[in-house]
Amino acid sequence: MPPEIESPILARGTTNKMSAASKPRPKYYELNLAHHWPPAVLSIFHRITGAALFFPILPLLLWMLQSTLDSESGYAKWRDLLANPVAKLAVVAAAWFYAHHFFAGIRYLLLDMHFWAGKPAARASALAVFALGAIAALAVAGCVW
């Protein structure tokens, strides 16, 4: 007999045994982010960062590209603005969002090709994505400060 595995996916007080008697219904799932495994949190972050990149990060970048290329005064305006610590923090946050989305996306591409598809490997790679995103953000922070 295989041991019964406690899984956070299943409702509290239930097991993954597929017997009708051990499945009280309705089930209430644990929806608190802190109780999810890293791949689930990563998936939610992939959506949040993706939506934020669509708006407002992409239009802000286009606006910056437009005014810095348009005129010398526009270039100077953005250079002065980006000297502001709050603006630097926004740049680091945007870079972190992009880096997280980038590494998480590469992880999905690898999973599609069946690399690290096992449960322990998928958890480890999800944690690695969080670490890489943070490292990239710190590297950008080091560049702007």
Partner 1 sequence: MVRHGYEKNPVGAHYGVGNWLVQRFSAVVMALYTLCAVPYILWRSPASYGQWKALFAGGFFRLATLLAIVAIIWHAWIGMRDILIDYLHGFALRLGAQVVVAVVLVFYLIWSFSILWGP
- List interacting residues with partner 1 (CB under 8 A): 47, 50-51, 53-55, 58-59, 62, 65-66, 68-69, 72, 75-76, 102, 105-106, 109, 112
**Smaller CB separation from partner 1, 65 or 121:** 65
**Smaller CB separation from partner 1, 53 or 93:** 53
* Minimal distance, residue 63 CB to partner 1, in Å: 9
b/e per residue 48-78 (b: at least 16 CB within 10 A)? ebeebbeeebeeeeeeeeeeeeeeeeeeeeb
**Smaller CB separation from partner 1, 17 or 77:** 77
* Minimal distance, residue 141 CB to partner 1, in Å: 16
Q: What angle, 0 to 180 degrees and rounded to 10, lies between the N-to-C axes of helices 85-112 and 38-52?
A: 120
* Minimal distance, residue 92 CB to partner 1, in Å: 15
**Smaller CB separation from partner 1, 53 or 144:** 53
* Minimal distance, residue 30 CB to partner 1, in Å: 19
* Minimal distance, residue 66 CB to partner 1, in Å: 5
| Coil, helix or strand at residue 13 | coil
Name the H helices within 20-118. Answer: 38-52, 58-70, 72-81, 85-112
**Smaller CB separation from partner 1, 76 or 134:** 76
Instruction: Report DSSP letters for 89-115, one per residue.
Output: HHHHHHHHHHHHHHHHHHHHHHHHTTT
Do 107 and 129 form a contact (C-beta atoms < 8 A)? yes
